[in-house]
Chain A
Amino acid sequence: MTERILLAHGSGGKLAHDLVEKVLVKPLSNPLLDRLDDSAVFSCSGRLAFTTDSYVVNPIFFPGGDIGKLAVCGTVNDLSMVGATPLYLSLAFIIEEGLLVDELERVLISVQAAAREAQVQIVTGDTKVVNKGSADRLFVNTAGVGTVPEGVDISGSNAQPGDKVILSGTIGDHGIAVLSQREGLGFSTRLQSDCAPLSGLVAEMLTASKRIHAMRDPTRGGLATTLNELASQSRVGIRIEEEKVPVRDEVRGACEMLGIDPLYVANEGKLVAIVHPEDAEAVLQKMRQHRYGKNAAIIGEVRPDHPGRVVMKTSLGASRIVDMLVGDPLPRIC
C-alpha cells in the first residue's frame, strides 16, 4: 500500500482493487459486502424507509469523532427519526488525491465502530479519487435502508396542538467542537462532538409510547431551524422556554465569545420528539435512562396559534420569535 491515495486508486485497476479489499472492505467485512457484486441483494418485508446524506465536514477529524462516524450516525439517525429500524448502508467516498492512507484507515475504523454500535451493515460502496483541489480531502455519502414497523407513522407533519416538545440533551456541542478546530478562531475547549447513533434511544422511546407524532435531529441550522421546519410542515405553532433548553457551559462560553446563538449551532447526536401530552413524561423517563438521553428535557409545547412560527419565552418572561437560520452562523464581532 502506498503512503498516499493516488488518482490511480480510483481508476478501477490493480491499485484500486487493492485499496478496496485491504482498506475498505476488510474492516467492514460482512457476507453481503464480501461478495463485492455490483449490488447487494437482500430481502425485506413491510414498509421500507430510505435516506441519503453527504458529508463534507472540515476538518475531517474533530474532538469526539470524524467524518466516518458522522456519515454512519447521520444516516442511521435519519432512518430512526421516522421510526425505522436501520438495516443496511451504502458508503461512497470521493477522495482528494494526496490523502494519507493512514487517515482513510482511521476513518474506516470509525465507520466500523459506529456501524457496530448502530447494528447496521455497510453492504455496498464506491470510491472515486479526484485531483488535488477538487475535494476538501474527503467527501462521504451514505444511503440507508430500514424497516418501519406496522402501525408506526412518525412524520414532521403529524404534530398536534397540545403535544409536548422533548429535546434529548444539550445543544451546540458538535458545532462548537468543530469550530474549535478551525484556523482563525483560535479557541480551545475540552468539548467533544455529540455525534452518536440514536437508533437505540429511539427504540426505547417507542416502547414507552405509540403516540410519538414527530421526530427530527437538529443538525445543520440547529434546534431553531428544526423546530421551524416542524412547525411549518405540521402547520402548527411551537412555543419553547429558554430556561428549559439545556446548554453546556463550554458551548455558552464559546458562543458568547464568538457572538453565535446556541439555538443555531449544529448537533449530531440529539433529537427533538413531539409527543402526545399524556405520554410525554413516560417517554422522557425512558430517554433519561439511556446514555444518549441523560439530559433530556421537555422544552415546550405545540400550539394552534401562530402556525409555522416558533416563539420562545425568554428568561425574563418576555416572548420573542425564533426564526430559521439564514446563511452561516458567522462569528460576529459586533
Chain B
Amino acid sequence: MCLAVPALVRSIDGDEAEVELGGVTRRASLMLTPEARVGDYVLLHAGYAINVLDEAEAEETLNMLREMARLAEDDVR
C-alpha cells in the first residue's frame, strides 16, 4: 500500500505543514517526521509525511544513471 508522492514543504504550523506538488497544495501531518523543515521534500502518503527525502542522494543517483546512459550511447556509436 504504497502510493506516496514527493511534496515540497511550503510552511509549517505546529504538527502540520502545507505541502505542494505541481502547484497543488494540501495540508499534511508531520507527526511522523517532526524533523522536516520548510524547503524539504517529504514523501506524502494518506495526508502524512512518512519520510524526508534526501535530495543529495537523488542527484547522485541521477548522475550515475546519466553516466550509464551516456556510456551506452557511446557504445552504440
Which residues on A sit within 8 Å (CB–CB) of B25? 187-189
Which residues on A sit within 8 Å (CB–CB) of B2? 334
Q: Is the CB of B3 within 8 A of A249?
A: no
Quick one: closest B residue to A253, CB to CB? Answer: B22
Which residues on A sit within 8 Å (CB–CB) of B27? 186
A291 interface contact, C-beta 8 A = no
Chain B interface residue bracket vs A: 10 to 19
- The main secondary structure of chain B at its interface with chain A is strand
A138 interface contact, C-beta 8 A = no
> In the complex, A257 Cα to B20 Cα: how many Å?
10
Chain A interface residue bracket vs B: 10 to 19
B46 interface contact, C-beta 8 A = yes
Q: Is the CB of B3 within 8 A of A252?
A: no
Residue among A186, A187, A251 with max Cβ neighbours from chain B (10 Å): A187
Quick one: closest A residue to B46, CB to CB? Answer: A333
Q: For chain B residues 11-66, which have a beta carbon within 8 Å of chain A?
A: 20-27, 44-47
> In the complex, A334 Cα to B21 Cα: how many Å?
18
Q: For chain A residues 257-281, which have a beta carbon within 8 Å of chain B?
A: 257, 259
Given A180, A186, A259, which contacts B3 in the complex, CB threshold below 8 Å?
A259
> In the complex, A80 Cα to B23 Cα: how many Å?
33
Given A332-B3, A333-B1, A333-B3, A250-B46 contact (CB < 8 Å)? no
> In the complex, A252 Cα to B22 Cα: how many Å?
7
Given A256-B5, A259-B3, A332-B3, A190-B21 contact (CB < 8 Å)? no
> In the complex, A189 Cα to B18 Cα: how many Å?
12
Which residues on A sit within 8 Å (CB–CB) of B22? 249-254, 256
Which residues on A sit within 8 Å (CB–CB) of B47? 186
A and B contact pairs by CB, cutoff 8 A, 14 listed: A180-B24, A186-B26, A186-B47, A187-B24, A188-B24, A190-B23, A250-B22, A250-B24, A251-B22, A253-B20, A253-B21, A254-B24, A256-B21, A257-B7
* Given A253-B22, A253-B23, A256-B5, 4 extra CB contacts under 8 A: A180-B24, A249-B22, A250-B23, A257-B21
